[in-house]
């Protein structure tokens, strides 16, 4: 009888130890999620012009028109290289989607 009680106590202690470890992991994840939700400084991927054209599903000529109209902002790279932030692409695609559906947020 005493051996069974010792085994149960050891199992309970092990279970509580594991539970404590998982609680710490959950707390860490909760803090990380809160930081992501409140801190918008997440690394924004920068795309080259060919990558941006694929993401936007448009030709170079159309892209240049949209850029000239101020609908898409670009980051000037070294020399004549044009770079576009992923957030700019997402914002433009959101505008286009809202325009197509007629819905507003």
| Dihedral sign, Cα of residue 48, residue 52, residue 55, residue 60 | negative
Q: Is 85 exposed, middle or buried (0-12, 13-18, 19+ CB in 10 A)?
A: middle
Question: Could you report the per-residue pLDDT of 9-25, keeping only the tens digit for each?
Answer: 889 899 888 888 888 88
For residue 43, pLDDT over 70 is answered with no
Number of H helices, E strands in the chain: 4, 3
Provide the 3-class DSSP secondary structure of residue 95: helix
Q: Which of 57-66, 85-94, 96-105 has the highest mean pLDDT?
A: 57-66
| % of the chain beyond a pLDDT of 70 | 87
Residue pLDDT, tens place only, 54-79: 999 999 999 999 999 999 998 877 77
pLDDT at 42 over 60: no
Report how far Cα 105 is from the mean position of its chain's Cα atoms. Answer: 20
């Amino acid at each position: 009888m005493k051996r069974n009680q010792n085994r149960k106590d050891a199992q309970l202690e092990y279970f509580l130890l594991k539970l404590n470890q998982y609680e710490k992991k959950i707390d860490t994840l909760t803090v990380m999620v809160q930081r992501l939700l409140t801190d918008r400084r997440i690394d924004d991927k920068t795309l080259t012009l060919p990558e941006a054209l694929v993401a936007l599903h448009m030709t170079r000529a159309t892209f240049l028109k949209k850029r000239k109209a101020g609908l898409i902002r670009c980051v000037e790279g070294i020399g004549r290289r044009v770079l576009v932030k992923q957030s700019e692409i997402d914002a433009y695609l959101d505008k286009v989607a809202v325009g197509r559906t007629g819905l507003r947020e």
